[in-house]
A and B are shown apart, each in its own frame.
Chain A
């Protein structure tokens, strides 16, 4: 378990990094996914461009509009940021489920998106929030919307010569709550199935919108609008008392997970229902009644 030979570059500026990348190679960020792939000789890039020395890429900018995590913002830094949690609580809720603390100290939010693992938490978060990724190459910059970013298992819309410089997670809309629920075999493992939920209430505590995004059920995150069945689930009930089972059933009918050695397809589909109910209920509880 030693990597095959590769060239190693350690650029100090973004420009240098983009020039290196134009010559071909792979970006090395936190290395928590890439290094194991190299050691198992499942990846053999001719060149590694280690961006850890590029100043400014670690910025974590929090504004009223949302949270912008630079390419070197570590999972742990985003998880611990009270400002980020205030503007978009789903980030912290989801990051708690990403691996273990030591891996979160090193792994990056943007790296996780670029890696595009179908069982990873952050792609589902970005997809649910309609965020985007900022990409740069020697020939220019562009912004890729979440809906276009994830193209397959471990595949993103990034071009080989592009560096993802930041990811943007929009702020929570008013009267909205979020929640994250997942089931993993052990603490910190990649999830068998996970669900991120977003519920917006109106002044009367009635569900106005309910959406969920799923990981572990398809090659890329699956986002479902569950407003219809959620609204249906509160008919004839007092405010705040929603029967989420219709939404759960709706979700179950719309996913088609595969099976692997850790869990079969039937079980994963079943979990989609359970986690949908749990995440939506918690998101609704988390929605601030009157204010934001």
Chain B
């Protein structure tokens, strides 16, 4: 069961259109639409709603002035950090200044979305347009400010150091210095954000459905903002059509305003984000400029690495500085970078906010490290794989302390891994050895092909905790609940696999509930490759409690020592004696002493049926009625998954098109619960990585307008653009958690830009220092390289 590649149990429902996503709910609800700023930076001079008032079906229009304190205040800064000295967040509706195109200015509620948009279109907002800050380097130059009270546009500045990197670089026999650029992309889930709220005036309670990655987070935030006791707020994440990070930010302006309006109006209100809103009103990521100085020895071993990062975090910092922290700390990857110094400056710009997107800063860090490895190899004329191997942490060196502080505030200590073995596997999968001949043979036919490699380590399963609740009912069904949410990962399958294996029941008997605060109130959320590690282990621990209790009760019923009992196929029996047995459904009945016999089975548990000592209470001290259990898993620190990708690409000598011919992945997420789901996660991640490497960017003009805010012009790869992926698995169990697992959710996306850059560089013999790379981009690079030898790279030995 555990470890088997069973098909996903949610697929029949989701693939046949039976899913229930946010917009499938609340058919009769009023609809909200938002008036959003058309300017990147402007002062609001006045808002005139008169022309909108006679739209038939209009219910209400709200601007900042209508919002009570609490509701209208700036949104929370979710993850404060001492280095974030100038954190700023937006108000749900702008008060005086708007700081990016798309910032909400007014909310319209109407009978349906069509009418709400009709009314929104008629609202006139007078703006005094202010100069916009667009682009990382303009932000750093700080000739204009995004926030008047934030000097230099600097939100945060952080230096982490292990040893004296500048000195180590200066003293090294070889030195290189270069700049790298990564453009903006975004999570871009196919289902946008959405909120649907119902106020119950009799109960004084609020139920909110949100397309979120954290229903418990939304619940706490709403209770606080709306002044409601937590017990009067229920938040449910229905089926969620992808999140990839953007939906862990909360509460979004709309997430506060829609429930607030529902309570005020005493009506159900719903808002479903459309694609245009998602481009300008949600969040983006990536977007860094890195300056690297590295010193190394003749074998390519890094002696000192000094990286300075400019990070663009957009107009506000509700999610803090997690992205640049992750970049800084995951940059060393599977290597020992010698002395390491990393400094980042996180800057405001008049653009959409930047918050974690699958990979969450790692793709940038890995791009930096892997480009560095390739450059060292080229400089020394060494095999790129050998240079990497020379820098690896050895298997016997775990646990390995990188000496840094990770995103959870804990020391960055790798728990386990086997990088040399993994390198052997990936070389084999992609055909690394012998590629030089392959490349030569292609060249003789007038074709250009190249091979690339990229390695990463990913801290997964950040705390603080997750919990699980497991109940076996009197029909023998097992109900598993955990508080974190699902966005299509396959939690119904893997959590059921864990429960079935732990309890000894058929998986068909197990149902799993996620993301519903009615079922489980304490949780953090689904992000950072943490669900399997956190909830998976919590559920296993909860199952073990239930199992212990079941064996205790069965032991009494069978007059056997619980230590001699085992559970198979939902039946407790004495080991070696299948006749001495009692089904779990009966144990469940016995676990709940009853006064009333509501059915035949229940008779067994009523007061005249059960024996027991007349001097003991029916529920012994320290016990609870019911065959259920709850437990939590809270790790000391993250567990570190790792992986290596390789690709063979072909570039068209005439059109500069880039085609991926082969793609291979070796992946280590500890013990796999379900290899099929792990592969699915990898495939999806690689697809997004291909987007980041070859297609996706956010094209802002100098006035801060996003020029490609549609699926027509923001190019996500289709299935036709994603290569076939060959996957190899390596399992180095994590010693940190009972199941020995590590996260797998983000892995696939992390090294793709680095790998493609490496392969294109190999095919072309031209330095690739910026991603994504389009055919036009490669065409221009070729022209520049033709006249500038500094852009050319010596052909590398494989």
* A contact set with B: CB distance below 8 Å: 1-5, 36, 40-41, 183, 185-189, 192, 261-264, 266-267, 270-271, 274
CA gap between A6 and B121 in the complex, in Å: 15
Chain B residues, CB < 8 A from A192? 776
CA gap between A262 and B707 in the complex, in Å: 11
Chain A residues, CB < 8 A from B707? 261
Chain A residues, CB < 8 A from B720? 186-188
Closest chain-A Cβ to B383's Cβ sits at a distance in Å of 34
Do B121 and A1 have beta carbons less than 8 Å apart?
no
Instruction: Determine the interface band of chain B, counting residues with CB < 8 A from chain A.
Output: 20 to 34
CA gap between A264 and B778 in the complex, in Å: 12
Give the residue of B276, B655, B721 whose beta carbon is less than 8 angstroms from that of A183.
Answer: B655
Given contacts A186-B720, A262-B774, contact A5 B118 (CB under 8 A): yes
Asked if B775 is at the interface of the complex by the 8 Å CB criterion, the answer is: yes
Do B717 and A263 have beta carbons less than 8 Å apart?
no
Given contacts A41-B121, A263-B775, A267-B775, contact A186 B718 (CB under 8 A): yes
Chain A residues, CB < 8 A from B780? 264, 266-267
Q: Which of B657, B717, B775 has the most CB of A within 10 A?
A: B775
If A186-B717, A186-B721 are given as contacts, then 4 extra A-B residue pairs at C-beta distance below 8 Å, sorted by A number, are A5-B114, A185-B715, A186-B715, A261-B699
Closest chain-B Cβ to A108's Cβ sits at a distance in Å of 19
Asked if B357 is at the interface of the complex by the 8 Å CB criterion, the answer is: no
Chain B residues, CB < 8 A from A262? 713, 715, 774, 776
Chain B residues, CB < 8 A from A187? 718, 720-721
Asked if B654 is at the interface of the complex by the 8 Å CB criterion, the answer is: yes
Do A267 and B657 have beta carbons less than 8 Å apart?
no
Per-residue CB contact flags for chain B residues 501-539 toward chain A (1 = under 8 Å, else 0) read: 000000000000000000000000000000000000000
CA gap between A2 and B654 in the complex, in Å: 43
Asked if B126 is at the interface of the complex by the 8 Å CB criterion, the answer is: no
Do B718 and A264 have beta carbons less than 8 Å apart?
no
Give the residue of B121, B775, B776 whose beta carbon is less than 8 angstroms from that of A4.
Answer: B121
CA gap between A5 and B55 in the complex, in Å: 11
Chain A residues, CB < 8 A from B712? 36
Do A271 and B718 have beta carbons less than 8 Å apart?
no
The closest CB in chain B to the CB of A270 belongs to: B779
CA gap between A4 and B775 in the complex, in Å: 38
Closest chain-B Cβ to A267's Cβ sits at a distance in Å of 4
Per-residue CB contact flags for chain B residues 17-59 toward chain A (1 = under 8 Å, else 0) read: 0000000000000000000000000000000000000000000
Asked if B394 is at the interface of the complex by the 8 Å CB criterion, the answer is: no
Chain A residues, CB < 8 A from B654? 274
CA gap between A1 and B118 in the complex, in Å: 11
Asked if B708 is at the interface of the complex by the 8 Å CB criterion, the answer is: yes
Do B117 and A2 have beta carbons less than 8 Å apart?
yes
The closest CB in chain A to the CB of B697 belongs to: A261
Asked if B113 is at the interface of the complex by the 8 Å CB criterion, the answer is: yes
Closest chain-B Cβ to A205's Cβ sits at a distance in Å of 25
The closest CB in chain B to the CB of A4 belongs to: B118
Closest chain-A Cβ to B775's Cβ sits at a distance in Å of 7
Asked if B274 is at the interface of the complex by the 8 Å CB criterion, the answer is: yes
In the complex, 5 of the A-B residue pairs with CB atoms within 8 angstroms, ordered by the A residue number, are A1-B274, A40-B276, A185-B775, A186-B695, A262-B713
Instruction: In the A-B complex, list the 9 residue pairs whose CB atoms are closest, starting with the nearest.
Output: A187-B720, A1-B274, A267-B776, A263-B776, A2-B114, A274-B654, A261-B699, A267-B779, A2-B117
Closest chain-B Cβ to A46's Cβ sits at a distance in Å of 14
Asked if B175 is at the interface of the complex by the 8 Å CB criterion, the answer is: no
Closest chain-A Cβ to B447's Cβ sits at a distance in Å of 15
The closest CB in chain B to the CB of A183 belongs to: B655
Q: Which B427-452 residues have a C-beta within 8 angstroms of A? A: none
Do A264 and B276 have beta carbons less than 8 Å apart?
no
Closest chain-B Cβ to A246's Cβ sits at a distance in Å of 16
Provide the main secondary structure of the chain A interface: loop
Chain A residues, CB < 8 A from B276? 1, 40
Asked if B275 is at the interface of the complex by the 8 Å CB criterion, the answer is: yes
Closest chain-A Cβ to B28's Cβ sits at a distance in Å of 17
Per-residue CB contact flags for chain B residues 704-732 toward chain A (1 = under 8 Å, else 0) read: 00011010110101101100000000000
Closest chain-A Cβ to B35's Cβ sits at a distance in Å of 13
Given contacts A261-B708, A262-B774, A263-B776, contact A271 B655 (CB under 8 A): yes
The closest CB in chain A to the CB of B275 belongs to: A1
CA gap between A41 and B33 in the complex, in Å: 14
CA gap between A45 and B715 in the complex, in Å: 29
CA gap between A1 and B779 in the complex, in Å: 36
Given contacts A183-B775, A186-B695, A274-B654, contact A261 B713 (CB under 8 A): yes
The closest CB in chain A to the CB of B113 belongs to: A2
Chain A residues, CB < 8 A from B118? 4-5
Q: Which of B274, B721, B774, B780 has the most CB of A within 10 A?
A: B774
Closest chain-B Cβ to A3's Cβ sits at a distance in Å of 7
CA gap between A183 and B710 in the complex, in Å: 21
Closest chain-A Cβ to B236's Cβ sits at a distance in Å of 26
The closest CB in chain A to the CB of B653 belongs to: A274
CA gap between A276 and B137 in the complex, in Å: 41
Chain A residues, CB < 8 A from B114? 2-3, 5
Per-residue CB contact flags for chain B residues 770-793 toward chain A (1 = under 8 Å, else 0) read: 000011100110010000000000
The closest CB in chain A to the CB of B274 belongs to: A1
CA gap between A231 and B240 in the complex, in Å: 62
Closest chain-A Cβ to B705's Cβ sits at a distance in Å of 12
Chain A residues, CB < 8 A from B708? 261
Chain A residues, CB < 8 A from B117? 2, 4, 41
CA gap between A4 and B120 in the complex, in Å: 11
Given contacts A2-B117, A41-B121, A274-B655, contact A185 B695 (CB under 8 A): yes
Q: Which of A187, A263, A267 has the most CB of B within 10 A?
A: A267
Given contacts A2-B114, A183-B657, contact A188 B718 (CB under 8 A): yes
Closest chain-B Cβ to A107's Cβ sits at a distance in Å of 15
CA gap between A122 and B567 in the complex, in Å: 68
Closest chain-B Cβ to A262's Cβ sits at a distance in Å of 7
Chain A residues, CB < 8 A from B275? 1
CA gap between A183 and B778 in the complex, in Å: 15
Chain B residues, CB < 8 A from A261? 699, 707-708, 713
Do B774 and A185 have beta carbons less than 8 Å apart?
yes
Chain B residues, CB < 8 A from A186? 695, 715, 717-718, 720-721
The closest CB in chain B to the CB of A36 belongs to: B712
CA gap between A261 and B717 in the complex, in Å: 17
CA gap between A192 and B713 in the complex, in Å: 12
Chain B residues, CB < 8 A from A266? 779-780, 783
CA gap between A158 and B112 in the complex, in Å: 36
CA gap between A5 and B655 in the complex, in Å: 45
CA gap between A266 and B782 in the complex, in Å: 13
CA gap between A41 and B775 in the complex, in Å: 32
CA gap between A263 and B715 in the complex, in Å: 13
Closest chain-A Cβ to B398's Cβ sits at a distance in Å of 42
CA gap between A41 and B715 in the complex, in Å: 22
Per-residue CB contact flags for chain B residues 240-269 toward chain A (1 = under 8 Å, else 0) read: 000000000000000000000000000000
Per-residue CB contact flags for chain B residues 688-701 toward chain A (1 = under 8 Å, else 0) read: 00000001000100
Chain B residues, CB < 8 A from A183? 655, 657, 775
CA gap between A36 and B276 in the complex, in Å: 12
CA gap between A183 and B721 in the complex, in Å: 14
The closest CB in chain A to the CB of B276 belongs to: A1
Chain A residues, CB < 8 A from B710? 40
The closest CB in chain A to the CB of B720 belongs to: A187
CA gap between A134 and B695 in the complex, in Å: 40
Closest chain-A Cβ to B86's Cβ sits at a distance in Å of 32
Chain B residues, CB < 8 A from A4? 117-118, 121
CA gap between A85 and B340 in the complex, in Å: 65
Q: Which B265-286 residues have a C-beta within 8 angstroms of A? A: 274-276
CA gap between A2 and B707 in the complex, in Å: 20
Q: Which B90-117 residues have a C-beta within 8 angstroms of A? A: 113-114, 117
CA gap between A262 and B774 in the complex, in Å: 8
Closest chain-B Cβ to A19's Cβ sits at a distance in Å of 28
Chain B residues, CB < 8 A from A5? 114, 118
Closest chain-B Cβ to A103's Cβ sits at a distance in Å of 12
Q: Which B468-489 residues have a C-beta within 8 angstroms of A? A: none
